[in-house]
């Protein structure tokens, strides 16, 4: 934009008379108005300095009238563009101002002002290289110096204090007032601290102003450090979980570019982070690994703008995952009770360091820390339980579980061994059993007259709607499951009656010792209460401090024991046992008698005699063994006595396998010893009687009952499947009997069974 009465000077490279030089022109603006199609006219005074290729200098001065926007006349300045249209000049500006400008230009040309011929430019350099910043000054008047980041380096060419810096070049005198000189800044062994802004300056003098070149920037280029991958050489990544993998190319200038490759396919870009003059570049890639990625190599490449080839580094992908496990058993069939069962969890994991725990119904099993759980004899308690194993490594844990189905034989879990009933009323026999598979129940009656038991019911409750004398007896509840032995238990159906006391009349205790008086009660139903009296008076247990009572249920009945602490003289005498149930009462007088010890000589003699008997027995055994060895060489051999069948039967009879055996144990204090365990062949006969023949009877008088009796002992018949007993699926139980004719200790008039036993 041109203003009225203003001057605008400019410089331009010109060619004149075969010389190249710099033209300085000033435009004196007289009037910027444009009217019609006229161009604005102005006077231009141009002073030209040029140097020929042979370094000869010429000067010229041209005055011309030019139109703004056109070039100088061809005779003065060589420019590009169309030739101008020249018209006669019109002098509208001030003549005095034109004279001043003309004199100023003439004097400036004569004094040869200092100026830059060449100025420095921006440059990039690698560390350790040599950099030269150019600075050429014509007609230098003042002192030349370089600045680094606006700090002067010095005016001497060697630049003391900067051993790697110097100003190189020469200055040539071209004439009395013309010179040209090179003041180039040379930097050896470029380092990072050389990075910055540089400027060439010529100081001012009395006749010349100071000049400054444009600012030049040296950029020191440094390759980054060799890239590294965090966690290399093996990168742990979690299966199907997003995982970041990081590559670092630090201390590069400019910033390095990080690229990722897997199987030579690029997968992500860089992520730079600045730190001072260096640039630390952090590249990150997110991997969602699968098992197929295990063992593959991932590559990180780092390169900046002044590197021809990138740096490379590699890492191997280690795909880690929680244990993948399965649970297996050592059995291919259904688990059965008492089986040896081994649970084993196995599979794969990375890392392979797996910790194991076992749970049963979500409760940790103590001490089970391997991948195998052994149950040596599994019980029915495991049926329906959940057994689980948990394998855990650094990545996580995996749980596998198995709900068990354990097959086991039937077991009767709830049954009333004795049931009381009233004549002409109903009765119920209840039996509950468990098993897997569910057992079938069968009610039968133990009856000698029938070789094969008759099935009475197949439900858990056997109901008799109208009870008669013929219904009283022993019933058997049998639980059956396919593939397992049956389980059976007996139930006595007895007639309800008043209680009956069956205890020894005289009982003994030693003075100063603990004593007791026992009252055995037969009662169906169970007694409501048992009361003790001493000499007809109730016993005050609290006041005495030495008396206490204890009751224990029997198969059908109850026993009550009166305990005496430190028996005294006054404790001997009569005691009354009174018992009550819903059908009546009974009482008995029991006498506590002082027990006397035998004289001391008798005791010593008995001990000596016992020792002598033991010695005789030992001697007999030695003689027998010697005789047996001597006779072992005989052709016919030797025959030794074996345990008789009767002895075996006696031993078998010692363990209660049926209700009869339990009955003997409950009431065998003195009352039930008169029967033999030796079973002989018996001849059964039919007879009619009204009395008690086998201690299972009715209250007198009884109606005549037609039944099978026998005159002596009997051999039990072969066991049937319904007569087997549990537990552990035994092969059966043995039956026993006792003589009715010789039984005297039990009052048979109180209990009656309408069946043969």
Residue 349 has pLDDT above 90, yes or no: yes
Q: Over range 86-108, report the average pLDDT.
A: 44
Angle, CA of 236, 238 and 244, to the nearest 5°: 70
Q: What share of the chain in percent tops pLDDT 70?
A: 66
Residue 273: predicted pLDDT:
53
Say if residues 267 and 260 touch (Cβ distance below 8 Å).
Answer: yes
Q: What confidence category does residue 27 fall into, taking pLDDT thresholds of 50, 70 and 90?
A: low
Mean pLDDT of 723-731: 38
What are 625-642's pLDDT values in tens digits?
887 776 655 433 333 343
Q: Are 245 and 232 in contact (CB under 8 A)?
A: no
CA–CA dist 184, 130 (Å, integer): 13
Q: Which of 272-276, 309-313, 390-394, 683-687 has the highest mean pLDDT?
A: 390-394
Residue 744 is predicted with a pLDDT of: 36
Q: Please report the pLDDT score of residue 251 as a whole number.
A: 81
* Residue whose C-alpha is closest to residue 427's, from 470, 478, 461, 456: 461
At residue 256, the pLDDT reads 83
pLDDT at 426 over 70: yes
Task: Please report the pLDDT score of residue 663 as a whole number.
Answer: 55
Residue 89 has pLDDT above 60, yes or no: no
CA 220 to chain CA centroid, Å, is 56
Give the span between the Cα atoms of 170 and 193, in whole angstroms.
Answer: 28
Q: Which CATH number fits domain 412-495: 2.30.38.10, 2.60.40.10, 3.40.50.300, 2.60.40.3670?
A: 2.60.40.10
Cβ neighbours around 754 below 10 Å, total = 19
The kind and range of the H/E element at 103 are helix 95-111
Q: Which residue has the higher pLDDT, 46 or 604?
A: 604
547 touches 605 (CB < 8 A): no
Split at pLDDT 50, 70, 90, the class of 417 is: very high
- Homologous superfamily in CATH for domain 223-404: Immunoglobulins (2.60.40.10)
User: Strand 537-538 and strand 19-28: pairing?
Assistant: unpaired
Phi, psi of 178 (to 5 degrees): -120, 135
Q: What is the pLDDT of residue 596?
A: 78
Q: What is the pLDDT of residue 21?
A: 47
Task: Determine the pLDDT at residue 631.
Answer: 60
Spatial neighbors of 446 by CB under 8 A, at least 6 apart, are 453, 473, 474, 475, 476, 490, 755, 757
Element (H, E) at 635: none
- Assess if CATH 2.60.40.10 describes domain 115-221: yes
pLDDT digits (tens, 9 = 90+) for 5-23: 444 444 444 444 333 444 4
Give tens-digit pLDDT for 172-210.
Answer: 888 887 889 999 999 999 988 898 999 999 999 888 899
User: 574-577: long-range contacts at Cβ-Cβ below 8 A with a sequence spacing of 24 or more?
Assistant: 574/534, 574/535, 574/536, 575/517, 575/532, 575/533, 575/534, 576/532, 576/533, 576/534, 576/536, 577/501, 577/503, 577/517, 577/519, 577/521, 577/530, 577/531, 577/532
pLDDT tops 80 at residue 670: no
Backbone angles phi, psi at 548, to 5 degrees: -155, 155
- Work out the pLDDT band at 91, boundaries 50, 70, 90: very low
Evaluate whether 726 touches 673 at the Cβ level (below 8 Å).
no
pLDDT at position 37: 42
pLDDT in tens, 104-155: 444 444 446 889 999 999 998 888 899 999 999 998 889 999 999 999 999 8
Average per-residue pLDDT for the chain: 74
pLDDT digits (tens, 9 = 90+) for 308-335: 889 899 999 999 999 999 999 999 999 9
Which residues have CB under 8 Å from 143's CB, separation 6+? 155, 202, 203
How confident is the model over 643-651, as a mean pLDDT?
A: 43
The pLDDT of residue 100 is 47
Average pLDDT over residues 426-439: 94
Torsion (CA) 27, 30, 35, 40 in degrees, nearest 10: -20
d(CA 272, CA 256): 8
* pLDDT for res 666: 55
Question: Which residues make Cβ contacts (< 8 Å) with residue 424, sequence separation at least 6?
Answer: 466, 467, 468
pLDDT digits (tens, 9 = 90+) for 211-233: 999 999 998 888 888 899 888 88
Return the pLDDT at 374. 96
pLDDT greater at residue 599 or residue 151: 151
CA dist 520 and 509 (Å) reads 18
**Among the listed ranges 307-316, 342-351, 747-756, which one has the minimum average pLDDT value?**
747-756
> How far, CA to CA in Å, does 307 sit from each of 193, 264, 310?
21, 20, 7
Q: Greater confidence, 268 or 85?
A: 268
Read off the pLDDT of each residue in 732-756 and give the average, rounded to a whole number: 36
pLDDT confidence tier of residue 701, bands split at 50, 70 and 90: very low
pLDDT at residue 294 in the model: 87
State the pLDDT at residue 258.
Answer: 87
More confident residue, 80 or 449: 449
Give, in words, the CATH class of 497-594.
Answer: mainly beta
Would you state the structure tokens that stand for residue 265, as one six-digit string? 């396919």
pLDDT, one tens digit per residue, over 475-502 is: 999 999 998 999 999 999 999 999 999 9
Q: Is the per-residue pLDDT at 732 higher than 70?
A: no
pLDDT of residue 752: 39
* Sign of CA pseudo-dihedral 257, 260, 265, 266: negative
Fold equal for 115-221 and 223-404: yes
**Strand-pair partners of 273:** 280
Indicate if the alpha-carbon torsion angle 31, 36, 39, 41 is positive or negative: negative
Domain boundaries, the chain: 115-221, 223-404, 412-495, 497-594
pLDDT reported for residue 308: 82
CA 328 to chain CA mean position, Å: 20
Residue 647's pLDDT is what? 45
Read off the pLDDT band of 239 (50, 70, 90).
confident
The lowest-confidence range among 103-107, 482-486, 621-625, 670-674 is 670-674
Looking at the DSSP bridge assignments, the partners of residue 244 are: 286
Where helices occur in 590-668 by DSSP H, the ranges are 600-631, 645-654, 659-667
**Region at 618 (left for phi over 0; alpha for psi -120 to 50; beta for the rest):** alpha
**In the beta sheet, which residues pair with residue 179?**
173
Alpha carbon of residue 610 to chain centroid: 71
CB under 8 A, 24+ apart: contacts of 259-266: 259/283, 259/300, 259/301, 259/310, 260/285, 260/298, 260/299, 260/300, 260/301, 261/298, 261/299, 261/301, 262/296, 262/297, 262/298, 262/299, 263/296
- Provide φ and ψ at 600, rounded to 5°: -60, -40
User: Across-strand partners of 311?
Assistant: 302
- Rounded to whole angstroms, the Cα distance separating 650 from 713 reads 13
- pLDDT tens digits along 361-411: 999 999 999 999 999 999 999 999 999 999 999 999 999 999 999 999 999
* 615 to 73, 567, 603, 628: CA distances (angstroms): 164, 39, 19, 20
Q: What is the pTM of this model?
A: 0.50
């Amino acid at each position: 934009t041109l203003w009225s009465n203003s001057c605008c000077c400019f410089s331009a490279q010109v060619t004149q008379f075969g010389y190249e030089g710099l033209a300085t022109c000033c435009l004196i603006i007289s009037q910027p108005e444009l009217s019609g199609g006229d161009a604005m006219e102005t006077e231009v005074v141009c002073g030209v300095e040029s140097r020929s290729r042979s370094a000869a200098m010429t000067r010229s001065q041209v005055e011309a009238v030019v139109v703004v926007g056109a070039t100088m006349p061809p005779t003065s300045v060589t420019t590009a563009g169309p030739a101008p249209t020249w018209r006669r000049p019109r002098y509208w500006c001030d003549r005095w101002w034109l004279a001043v400008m003309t004199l100023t230009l003439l004097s400036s040309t004569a004094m040869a002002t200092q100026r830059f011929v060449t100025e420095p430019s921006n440059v990039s350099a690698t560390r350790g290289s040599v950099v030269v910043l150019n600075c050429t000054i014509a007609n230098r008047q003042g002192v030349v110096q370089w600045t680094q980041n606006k700090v002067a380096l010095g005016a001497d060419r060697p630049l003391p204090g900067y051993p790697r810096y110097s100003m190189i070049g020469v200055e040539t005198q071209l004439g009395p007032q013309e010179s040209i000189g090179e003041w180039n800044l040379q930097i050896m062994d470029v380092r990072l601290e050389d990075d910055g802004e540089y400027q060439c300056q010529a100081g001012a003098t009395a006749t010349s102003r100071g000049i400054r070149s444009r600012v030049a920037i040296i950029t020191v280029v440094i390759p980054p450090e060799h890239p590294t991958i965090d966690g290399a050489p093996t990168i742990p990544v979690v299966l199907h979980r997003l995982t970041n993998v990081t590559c670092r190319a630090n201390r590069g200038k400019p910033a390095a570019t990080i690229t990722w490759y897997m199987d030579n396919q690029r997968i992500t870009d860089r992520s730079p982070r600045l730190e001072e003059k260096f640039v630390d570049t952090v590249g990150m890639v997110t991997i969602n690994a699968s098992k197929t990625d295990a063992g593959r190599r991932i590559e990180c490449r780092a390169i900046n703008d002044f590197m021809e080839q990138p740096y490379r580094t590699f890492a191997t992908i280690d795909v880690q995952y929680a244990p993948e496990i399965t649970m297996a058993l050592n059995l291919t069939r259904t688990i059965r009770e008492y089986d040896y069962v081994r649970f084993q969890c196995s599979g794969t994991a990375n890392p392979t360091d797996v910790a194991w725990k076992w749970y049963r119904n979500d409760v940790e099993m103590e001490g089970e820390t391997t991948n195998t759980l052994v149950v040596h004899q599994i019980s029915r308690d495991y049926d329906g339980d959940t057994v689980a194993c948990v394998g855990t490594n650094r990545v996580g844990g995996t749980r596998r579980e198995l709900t068990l189905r354990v097959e086991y034989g039937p077991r009767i879990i709830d049954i009333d061994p004795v049931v009381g009933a009233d004549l002409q009323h109903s009765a119920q026999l209840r039996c509950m059993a468990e098993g897997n598979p569910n057992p079938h129940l069968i009610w039968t009656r133990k009856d000698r007259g029938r070789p094969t038991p008759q099935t009475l019911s197949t439900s858990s409750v056997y109901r008799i709607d109208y009870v008669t004398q013929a219904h009283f007896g022993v019933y058997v509840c049998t639980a059956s499951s396919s593939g397992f032995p049956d389980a059976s238990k007996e139930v006595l159906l007895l007639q309800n009656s008043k209680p009956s006391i069956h205890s020894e009349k005289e009982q003994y205790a030693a003075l100063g010792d603990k004593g007791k008086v026992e009252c055995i009660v037969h009662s169906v139903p169970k007694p409501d209460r048992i009361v003790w009296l001493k000499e007809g008076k109730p016993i005050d247990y609290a006041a005495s401090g030495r008396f206490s009572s204890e009751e224990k249920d029997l198969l059908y009945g109850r026993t009550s024991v009166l305990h005496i602490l430190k028996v005294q003289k006054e404790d001997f005498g009569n005691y009354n046992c009174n018992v009550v149930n819903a059908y009546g009462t009974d009482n008995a007088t029991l006498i506590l008698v002082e027990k006397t010890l035998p004289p001391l000589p008798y005791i010593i003699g008995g001990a000596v005699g016992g020792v002598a008997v033991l010695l005789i027995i030992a001697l007999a055994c030695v003689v027998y063994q010697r005789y047996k060895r001597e006779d072992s060489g005989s052709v016919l051999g030797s025959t030794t006595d074996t345990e008789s069948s009767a002895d075996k039967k006696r031993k078998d009879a010692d363990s209660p396998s049926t209700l009869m055996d339990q009955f003997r144990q409950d009431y065998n204090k003195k009352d039930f010893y008169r029967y033999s365990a030796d079973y002989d062949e018996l001849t059964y006969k039919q007879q009619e009687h009204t009395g008690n023949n086998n201690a299972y009877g009715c209250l007198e008088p009884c109606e005549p009952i037609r039944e099978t009796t026998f005159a002596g002992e009997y051999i039990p018949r072969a066991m049937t499947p319904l007569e087997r007993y549990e537990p552990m699926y035994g092969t059966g139980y043995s039956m026993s009997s006792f003589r009715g004719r010789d039984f005297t200790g039990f009052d048979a008039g109180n209990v009656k069974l309408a069946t043969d036993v």
